[in-house]
Structure 1
Amino acid sequence: MFKLSATRALAAALSFSLLSFTGLLHAQAVFKVTAIPDESPTELARKAAPLVKYLEKTLGMKVEFTPVTDYAASVEALANKQVDLAWYGGFTFVQASVRSGGKVIPLVQREEDAKFRSVFITSDPAIKTLADLKGKNVSFGSQSSTSGHLMPRSFLLQANIDPDKDFKRVAYSGAHDATIAAVVAGKVDAGALNISVWEKFVADGKVDTNKVRVFYTTPGFYDYNWTVHADMPAAQREKLTKAFLSLDRASPEGKEILELQRATRFIPTKAENYKGIEQAAHSAGLLK
């Protein structure tokens, strides 16, 4: 009786171990994607949905979009390998590189990101130049945003305007769409944001350009990219890169994904492209 019970117990233990191992393998088979929260959660989820389906098909595994609460969380998530792929702005990529000890690799960027721009908007007719912002209430996006804070601040400093000294108040909306809303509502006199979000709002009729207008557009700079951890196997990195580079507006699937990503197409990128962003962050005192 004891021998039979012991045998059954051993069989049960082995069965449980097998199930646990199978469950672990299943858990590891989920490819997790995240993105900096530079727009509303609903918009980020909408943009991610068809891309997730496409990656599931091309990678041959389950893919999940994992939202994060703020920019810092997106940096920690990839540095700690809690996610496999992250959509970063140029500055967030630099932060992730510093945080991980250089163990993150940017794979691709939109063609538009090779010469990205920010815009300054206002509803005040008296504001026509950057110099007119002195003594005004001005909003940036997130403090870690490249196009919503770092680069606009950098170009202000180049124009001998120090936001912390020359503005009446500096606000941080947290996201590009929130910056537009703050200007529209009159909570601030002006705001700086990502040009593609602004153009999307204008195209969708979500902002009245007779009331709110662009008064300054920055020079171009490198910005967004899709980044992975350096520990990802080279074969998987190559497969992932090929998936993005293969997206084509000629196909319904490619057209939908590229339009939601506000991309003409994806092109390869490299860490060296973001050295200018790193230098700007140091100069602006945003990176120690």
Structure 2
Amino acid sequence: MLKRPLALAAGLVFSCCAVLTQAAETLRVSAIPDEAPTELLRKFKPLGQYLHKQLDMEVKFVPVSDYPAVVEALASDKLDLAWLGGFTFVQVHLKDPSATPLVQREQDAKFTSKFITADPNVKSLADLKGKTFAFGSVSSTSGSLMPRYFMLKNDNIKPETYFSRVAYSGAHDATVAWVQAGKADAGVLNASVWQKLVDAGKVDTDKVKVFATTPTYYDYNWTVRGNMDAGLKAKIKQAFLDLDPANPEHKAILDLQAASRFIETSPDNYKGTEEAAREAGLLK
């Protein structure tokens, strides 16, 4: 898997005041690197400022190099809050059963992945036998685990034997770039990033097309470390639930998160993800 360079070596601390009163705590926040580091920071900045106001705490974004780094940091209390995919949440929860998923975007309760290609002759997975294929990160729920699970379950396709070569781009936007450039005959990525790239004009839809979509599954959530104070945990959860699309400032934050609103979630929502991971041999 290719590791993408970090845009910043240090975290960013957000404050809405010119003079900061020293906070008793700093909320250390991170996210799985499923997009370019600069994009993750751009998306987080207004959310970090909002959380600073709501919680009356410093909020520090801590960039990481890869998916396992987020899992290890949250499970070992080096992070307080992290944006995880379904699979990375399962990995954290197995290391720390008290780690709590607080909220997810409304769409994360019915998430999908998109199979894409630039080959006009590819109409279905059946047309890809013997061709090259790109996943995102090996730890990605929507860019690897669930598409792999559905390929095996619904089409009896084992990628390593069905395709001539399987590669991991490391991130959803990188998968699109690979397919568009011809580095892979096809690939798969999450539906939200695909739509964002299309809307931003960052993918040539005359060349790259979606030819299949997975069934729905639970995906992303905001998870806190297990030993967090219950009061702070409740305040963080309520801050996300209070984001109101009718409020222009809140809508700007939600838009950057590709969210219509945030809703409550629970560990039970990810039992199917754990089952898929075990069937795929990704959990022992």
Under a length normalisation based on structure 1, what TM-score does the superposition of the two structures give?
0.89
Q: Is the 8 A contact 1:79 1:99 kept in 2?
A: yes
How far off its partner does 1:27 sit?
8.2
Cα deviation, 1:252-285, whole Å, max 9, x if unaligned, reads 2210110000001000000000000000001111
For residues 247 and 202 of structure 2, the distance between their equivalents in structure 1, rounded to whole angstroms, comes to 28
For residues 233 and 90 of structure 1, the distance between their equivalents in structure 2, rounded to whole angstroms, comes to 24
- Report the 3-state secondary structure (helix = DSSP H, G, I; strand = E; otherwise coil) of the residue aligned with 2:179: helix
Percent identity for Structure 1 against Structure 2: 62
Among 128, 136, 151, which residue is 1:133 paired with? 128
Q: Is the 8 A contact 1:119 1:194 kept in 2?
A: yes
Q: Is the 8 A contact 1:131 1:161 kept in 2?
A: no
Q: Which amino acid aligns with 1:144?
A: S
Cα deviation, 1:76-126, whole Å, max 9, x if unaligned, reads 1101111110000000000111122x1211000000000000000000111
Which residue does 1:118 correspond to in 2? 113
- Report the 3-state secondary structure (helix = DSSP H, G, I; strand = E; otherwise coil) of the residue aligned with 1:187: coil
How far off its partner does 1:287 sit?
1.2
Q: Which amino acid aligns with 2:131?
A: K
- Report the 3-state secondary structure (helix = DSSP H, G, I; strand = E; otherwise coil) of the residue aligned with 1:138: strand
Whose helix proportion is higher, 1 or 2? 1
Q: Is the 8 A contact 2:24 2:57 kept in 1?
A: no
For residues 32 and 161 of structure 2, the distance between their equivalents in structure 1, rounded to whole angstroms, comes to 29
- Equivalences for residues 205-220 of structure 1 within 5 A: 205-220=201-216
Tell me the matched-pair count: 262
Q: Which amino acid aligns with 1:147?
A: S
Which sections of structure 2, spanning at least 5 residues, go unmatched? 1-21
For residues 85 and 129 of structure 1, the distance between their equivalents in structure 2, rounded to whole angstroms, comes to 39
Q: Is the 8 A contact 2:104 2:221 kept in 1?
A: yes
- Equivalences for residues 252-271 of structure 1 within 5 A: 252-271=248-267
Q: Which amino acid aligns with 1:134?
A: K
Under a length normalisation based on structure 2, what TM-score does the superposition of the two structures give?
0.91
Q: Is the 8 A contact 1:129 1:216 kept in 2?
A: yes
Which residue does 1:108 correspond to in 2? 103
Over aligned residue pairs, what C-alpha RMSD do you find? Answer: 1.0
Which sections of structure 1, spanning at least 5 residues, go unmatched? 1-25
How far off its partner does 1:249 sit?
1.1
- Report the 3-state secondary structure (helix = DSSP H, G, I; strand = E; otherwise coil) of the residue aligned with 2:102: strand
Among 136, 142, 145, which residue is 1:147 paired with? 142
**1:203 and 2:199 matched:** yes
For residues 27 and 252 of structure 1, the distance between their equivalents in structure 2, rounded to whole angstroms, comes to 28
For residues 131 and 39 of structure 2, the distance between their equivalents in structure 1, rounded to whole angstroms, comes to 30
For residues 24 and 75 of structure 2, the distance between their equivalents in structure 1, rounded to whole angstroms, comes to 17
For residues 185 and 166 of structure 1, the distance between their equivalents in structure 2, rounded to whole angstroms, comes to 22
For residues 170 and 147 of structure 1, the distance between their equivalents in structure 2, rounded to whole angstroms, comes to 16
How far off its partner does 1:28 sit?
6.0
Which residue does 1:156 correspond to in 2? 151
